[in-house]
Amino acid sequence: MSIHHLLIFVFAGMAGCDKNKPPQVQLPTNLVTEITVTGGLVDVQASAQNANFYTVTFYHNNDSTVVETNDGQADYTFAASGTYTIKTSAHTTYTDFISKVESVNVSITGSSSGAPTTGYSTPLSYSNYSLVWNDEFNGTTLSSDWTFDIGTGSGGWGNNELEYYTNQNYVINGGVLAITAKNQPFNSSLYTSTRMKTQGLKSWKYGRIDIRAALPYGQGIWPALWMLGDNITTVGWPSCGEIDIMELIGGAGANDRTVHGTAHWSDNGIHAQYGGSKVLPSGKFADEFHVFSIIWNQNSITWLLDDVPYKTLDTTPANLSEFQNKFFLIFNVAVGGNWPGNPDATTVFPQTMYVDYVRVFQ
């Protein structure tokens, strides 16, 4: 073999080896972050060249919360004052990224949770009633009487809702529970929120239930304070019965100042419902706290807004027997769905429902 032919063979072999090398990954560059602190809420806006997505890690109390975002926006609400660490990463892939670590000072005083400071309230006692259970949402941790629904349910919880429910979209601060719906892509959903419940832990048959709350607003926003029958896991819905203490369908016109109280049940296998609405003369239910109540006994369910009754259902007919059983509580903020429709360009995020207390009297 001549030297000329040998060199050609070697060079050809080298060229063949180059073809098998993995392509070189181009890391993002110029990672820039802008962090805004408002009370306990810390908002991060990140940008970088050649980034496919971002992760933001909020470190708190020997734990951490990681938010994955395509547009670089992420936020987290800290429950207490202090200095916290935040790591922002710009990714090409999950294993190829650049990061920066920063510290923020959080100072929480008074009603820095963002909750209104005014509104209607009700007493801790009524004649002919005893307080059998309550949650005043004091401290910074949720009591063991609550658990969570996680995910998107079946068909958007049966309503084509758009949110993914997590156990991270709530905080307790200053004696108030805050449930926040966020424009935050997660697990193929465009939004996140929280849906918490007392199912399997606490339930009641009859009584007066008071819930003091300030509500979110806007097109596609659907807060609810409601109840389902304990036997839903065996008989399904609507045979278990449903009592909507309060629902609001946010949006234009009178929507942000209108609440609805409704009962649902099965009438010989057919879904039946009955309820009413109450409209504020001005403003919206986000402006201040109101108390949403029901008075429920063996004969009827009456809905009240700020102690004023606005609708009563006679539950004595045999086909309304669902309402002679125990029910558990559910608090949630849904986004989108068959009733409210989807958010639009007018919808402001995040949107928060604040709950000051829930009290059950019998």
Active site residues: 242, 247
User: Could you count the other beta carbons within 10 Å of the beta carbon of residue 16?
Assistant: 9
C-alpha to C-alpha distance for 117 and 110, rounded to whole angstroms: 9
Written as one letter, the residue type at 4 is H
Alpha helices in 159-260 (DSSP H): 232-235
C-alpha to C-alpha distance for 294 and 312, rounded to whole angstroms: 9
Sign of CA dihedral 344, 346, 352, 357: negative
172: CB partners within 8 A, 6+ apart: 79, 137, 138, 139, 140, 141, 142, 178
Q: Edge-to-edge, what's the strand order for the sheet holding 221-229?
A: 147-149, 195-197, 327-335, 221-229, 242-247, 258-267, 270-279
Which H helix or E strand runs over 291? strand 290-296
User: Could you count the other beta carbons within 10 Å of the beta carbon of residue 110?
Assistant: 9
Q: In Å, how far are 174, 186, 228, 242, 274 from 207, measured between CA atoms? A: 28, 39, 15, 15, 19
54: CB partners within 8 A, 6+ apart: 46, 48, 68, 69, 70, 72, 74, 88, 89, 90, 91
